[in-house]
Chain A
Amino acid sequence: MAFSSGFSPHPRISYANAAPTGVASEAEYVEIGVVTRCDPLDIRQRLDAALPPGLDIVDVVEALTPDFAARLEASRWSIELAGVTRATLADAVDTLMACAEAPIERMTKGGLRTIDVRSAILAAEVVDSDPDATHATAEIPSSSPCAILKVVVRQVTPTVRPDDILAALRSVADFVPPVPALVTREQQGPLAAEGVFIQDPLAPDRESAGADGTPVVP
């Protein structure tokens, strides 16, 4: 692993656009600097061996193109709300989407900031929960309804996070979930030219690498 130069060297590792603590993710990206060229598959296996259960390395790609973090233009989130019917959630989401803007306040390192949630939302859809999923809690038996909000959010500064979306739903539609939401980031990457589809952010590196994994010299 490579270290930064200077008086207190730090490992060269950067977490691009990391998900907030307490939410699940299926699409996190980490850039790691190494000292010598390594086999990506070997790195993947060794990292997997060291990581605790539940943290899996999905793929390792040699970075052959610059500005990786800038490619993470948007995220698709799944916000699972136990004890909420699909209709209730859909009404609240419709109200939010009908707004021109939905400002909420959040304490950031720079002080209290006002953030417009609405302008960052590119698409929102309400679906029923997977009937096999278990989301029973002490207060919510498993027979209760559960609605899921699938939402595509543009990466802006400051970042609009899933709890900001919930704050906006509370603010514009008085929507208050009975128990905390279970949130999962499903996808991250560049937006397709039209619409709200998220593409593979590693695609440029994969393309640069050619079929046998060696870099293609332009």
Chain B
Amino acid sequence: MSASVYPQLERVLPLVQKPIQYVGGEVNAVTKDWEQAAVRWALMYPDAYEVGAPNQGVQILYEVINERDDALAERTYAVWPDLESLMRANGIPQFTVDAHRPVVDFDLLGISFATELGYTNMLTALDLAGIPIHAADRGDSHPLVIAGGHAAFNPEPIADFLDAAVLGDGEQAVLAITDLVRDFKAAGSQGGRAALLDLLAASGVAYVPSRYEVEYLADGRIKRVKPVDAGVPWRVAKHTVMDLDDWDYPRAPLVPLAETVHERMSVEIFRGCTRGCRFCQAGMITRPVRERSKAGIEQMVARGLTATGFEEVGLLSLSSADHSDIAPLTKSLADCYSSSQTSLSLPSTRVDAFNVDLANELSRNGRRSGLTFAPEGGSERMRRVINKMVSEEDLIRTVTTAYAAGWRNVKLYFMCGLPTETDEDVLQIARLAKEVIRVGREVSGTRDIRCTVSIGGFVPKPHTPFQWAAQCDHETTDARLAKLRDAVRSDKQFGKAIGFRYHDGKPGIVEGLLSRGDRRVGAVIEQAWRDGARFDGWSEHFDYDRWMAAADTAWNDAPVDVDWFTIRERDHAEVLPWDHLDSGLDREWLWADWQDALDQVEVDDCRWTPCFDCGVCDQMGTEIQIGPTTSTIDLPIPTVTATARA
């Protein structure tokens, strides 16, 4: 049995902000019989409901697990500090939003980390749940705590808090873990928690940090990472789901009760990206490209809309305009839905005129307000370093097409703090933005157009060619951004038409520490959390000084500090904390690509050119799966969206 905590929770809900986020009962939420399930998962997105509820990873796993007769999955999210203190005062444990069961009652707690800044929220949830935060202190009555998501490709900073981590696509991995736990329980749970972790470690399905030992050199670098026992693999590999048409989840997406960051239904049109942008961890760790067929996507759109009533569909992927069938796909969806209340969107970041054509197609009847492109690097030189092959001519031609087609605001994404970057590279962004406004006014015939420049600080990530790079210190980042801001604002002719959005460099340093840290960073995370760190991805909650003080306390006499993990360049021979975790990328290829970056040598996309031996397909036994496919299905127009314009 697992009793609902709702009667206690209900008492305190009137006292908190946005209580609706804690009540559950969404359209397509599932609550299964506790006793009928042999294996019970609590799935957590470690941020507030408004961020976590739309998350595709959690929604997919929730459905995949709940489809099984022998398993159930419920969801839990980070609670805001106001509810956290009321839960502590009233003895209410961390709960699931589905049946409001205590998280500690489940067999497994799966946590999806899209970003490292959710680590402190994990500790809050564990502590509220009554689960010891250190894996070593847990017993047979506690769930196995398993991390997934992109940040789990280097789980070492949270190794002390995790029982296991799953690398890569989760669909098949959660099913394999469910089987393993079911069989273990059916056989009487012989040997308890330790035996189960041994089984999991030996299976290779998940990485079990406690079954590996890290040795250090006197200067602070890692000497080696080795399995504790024979039978535990030296390296743990990522999971790759092939044939995405066979994995058409979520089939019945959740309709969040509260307003969320994505007020639309998402349909993932392909997974993976081989554009080879060197800063992009997502592109590196999700190879190879695996497309859904046009018919499969159309079916997911039609079925999902019928199941939910959403009014907007986003066609998601890492670079949606690259789908082999994207032009016929957008045309057929626009034909089907343009007379209804359903609108379609494509995350538009590819810098070319084709992308504008697609956006035009999807906005046949709608407003042409903003279109987003991501040149990422300000100068041509910088773009060669990061392998973002966009010339200034491409960019100007693209924005010209966009303004001419009636788009009023072009948003441009850039990064600051990239390897080898100088002030001059960043100041080029100002020149580019002014040129964009100049040509925009010319082709649109109006001064009423805008260009918004958004700048993110670059954080080097594991499993990318920049994993060896020195991160730019926050003082330099801030100084460069200030110069850029002045260069934009001082321009009398164009300055007012250019919006400028950026964040200061300090949060990036903490993200960098958590991204490329090793097991010693765990003590800093714990200290920061004990000192009050929560919701570190939210600027109103993030406190840089608290993190630096925590590092000073935790590393009082250690040979390492924050600078050592962030602004220090690594050499080829150094053992990196994640070297024993296999993303499929050949380490030598990554190093060669890093050297090519420094030499400003570009690399092509293997979808359209011969294989350049990044290593993934050979190592993982996978292959590129792309169209075009020709089959089509007849799409029913959902009746709920029939229009009446009074």
Chain A residues near B (Cβ < 8 Å): 1-5, 7-9, 21-23, 35, 50, 52-54, 134, 136-139, 163, 179-183
Q: Is the CB of B645 within 8 A of A137?
A: no
In-complex Cβ contact of B26 among A2, A7, A21, A52 (8 A): A52
Question: What is the bound-complex CA distance between A214 and B644, given in angstroms?
Answer: 24
Residues of A within 8 A of B90 (CB): 137-139
- B628 in the interface, Cβ–Cβ < 8 Å? no
Q: Is the CB of A22 within 8 A of B14?
A: yes
| Cα distance, A52 to B97, chains bound together (Å) | 13
A sample of 15 inter-chain contacts (CB < 8 A) reads: A3-B341, A3-B643, A4-B646, A7-B367, A9-B645, A21-B18, A21-B19, A22-B14, A35-B644, A52-B25, A136-B7, A137-B8, A180-B12, A182-B11, A183-B14
In the assembled complex, the CB of B73 is this many whole angstroms from the nearest CB of chain A, namely 18
Instruction: Report whether B645 and A180 are in contact in the complex, using a CB–CB cutoff of 8 Å.
Output: no
Chain B contacts for A3, CB-based, 8 A: 341, 643-645
User: Bound complex: CA of A35 vs CA of B340, how far in Å?
Assistant: 14
Residues of B within 8 A of A52 (CB): 25-27, 29
On whether the beta carbons of B25 and A53 are closer than 8 Å, the reply is yes
Q: List residues of chain B with CB within 8 A of the CB of A54.
A: 25
A interface: dominant SS: loop
CB–CB B640/A1 < 8 A = yes
Chain A residue numbers with a CB within 8 Å of B640 are: 1
- Chain A residues closer than 8 Å to B29, beta-carbon distance: 52
Residue of A nearest to B643 (CB): A3
A residues near B25, Cβ cutoff 8 Å: 52-54
B7 with A2: CB separation less than 8 A: no
Question: Which residue of A has the minimal Cβ distance to B20?
Answer: A21
| A50 and chain B: residue at smallest CB distance | B27
Q: Is B603 in the interface zone, CB < 8 Å from A?
A: no
Residues B14 and A23 in contact, CB atoms below 8 Å apart: yes
Encode B14-34 as 1/0 by CB contact (under 8 A) with A: 110011100001110100000
Report yes or no: A5 in contact with B646, Cβ–Cβ below 8 A.
yes
On chain B, the residues within 8 Å of A4 by CB distance are 646
* Residues of chain A with a CB closer than 8 A to B642's CB: 1, 35
Of the residues B19, B92, B644, contact of A22 by C-beta under 8 Å: B19
* Complex Cα gap A179–B10 (Å): 11
For B, the interface residue count at a CB cutoff of 8 angstroms equals 26
A179→B646 contact, CB < 8 A: no
Nearest to A4 among chain B residues (CB) is: B646
A134 and B7 in contact (CB under 8 A), knowing A1-B640, A5-B646, A180-B14?
yes
- Contact across chains for A9 and B14 when beta carbons are under 8 A apart: no
Question: In the complex the two chains form, what is the Cα distance from A4 to B643 in whole Å?
Answer: 9
Q: How far is the CA of A137 from the CA of B29 in the complex (A)?
A: 27
Q: Beyond the given A22-B13, A138-B91, could you list 14 further A-B residue pairs with CB under 8 A, ordered by the A residue number? A: A1-B642, A3-B643, A3-B644, A5-B646, A7-B367, A35-B642, A35-B644, A50-B27, A54-B25, A137-B8, A138-B90, A182-B10, A182-B11, A183-B14
Residue on B nearest A82 in the bound complex, by CB: B11
* Closest CB in chain B relative to A165 CB, distance in Å: 13
B258 and chain A: residue at smallest CB distance: A21
Neighbouring A residues of B11 by C-beta, 8 Å: 137, 179-180, 182
Using A4-B646, A5-B645, A22-B14 as known contacts, say yes or no to A138 and B8 having CB atoms under 8 A apart. yes
- Rounded to whole angstroms, the CA-CA distance of A50 and B90 in the bound complex is 34
| Chain A residue at minimal CB-CB distance from B309 | A50
Instruction: Using known A-B contacts A3-B644, A137-B90, determine if residue A180 contacts B27 with beta carbons closer than 8 Å.
Output: no
- Which residues on A sit within 8 Å (CB–CB) of B646? 2, 4-5
B24 to chain A, nearest CB (A): 8
- Return the chain A residue nearest B91 by Cβ: A138
- Give the residue among A22, A138, A182 with the most B Cβ atoms within 10 A: A22
Bound form: Cα–Cα A142–B644 in Å: 54
| C-alpha spacing A134/B4, complex, angstroms | 14
Is A2's CB under 8 angstroms from B644's CB?
A: yes
In angstroms, Cα B86 to Cα A179, docked, is 11
Assembled-state Cα–Cα distance A139/B90 (Å)? 8
Give CA–CA (A5, B644) in the complex, Å.
8
Highest count of chain B CB atoms <10 Å: which of A7, A52, A179, A181: A52
CB neighbours of A139 from chain B (8 A): 90
Cα–Cα distance between A181 and B25 once the two chains are bound (Å): 23
Q: Compute how far the CA of A137 lies from the CA of B13 in the bound complex, rounded to whole angstroms.
A: 14
Complex: chain B residue closest to A52, CB-CB: B25
In the complex, chain B residues whose CB is within 8 Å of the CB of A35: 642, 644
Chain B: minimal CB distance from A1 (Å): 7
The CA of A7 and the CA of B645, in the complex, are separated in Å by 11
Instruction: Point out the residues of chain B lying under 8 angstroms from A1, CB to CB.
Output: 640, 642
Interface centre among B92, B367, B644 (most CB of A within 10 A): B644
Q: Which residue of B lies closest to A134 (CB)?
A: B7
Closest 6 pairs between A and B when the two form their complex, measured CB to CB? A52-B25, A22-B14, A35-B644, A2-B644, A138-B91, A5-B645
What residues of chain A lie closer than 8 Å to B341, measured between beta carbons? 3, 9
Please, how many angstroms separate the alpha-carbon atoms of A35 and B640 in the complex?
11
Tell me the smallest distance from the CB of A194 to a CB of chain B, in Å: 34
Cβ 8 A contact of A180, one of B15, B91, B92, B644: B15
Shortest distance between the CB of B47 and any CB in chain A (Å) = 21
In angstroms, Cα B92 to Cα A203, docked, is: 44
Min Cβ gap B83→A in Å is 12
Residues of A within 8 A of B91 (CB): 138
A23 contacts across to B, CB distance below 8 A:
14
Return chain A residues, CB-CB under 8 Å to B13. Answer: 22
Complex-state Cα separation, A1 to B340, whole angstroms: 12
Interface residues of B in 63-96 (CB under 8 A from A): 90-92
Interface bits B175-217 vs A (CB < 8 Å: 1, else 0): 0000000000000000000000000000000000000000000
Task: Specify the chain B residue showing the minimal Cβ separation from A7.
Answer: B367
Shortest distance between the CB of A33 and any CB in chain B (Å): 8
| Residue in chain A with minimal CB distance to B640 | A1
Chain B residues, CB < 8 A from A179: 11
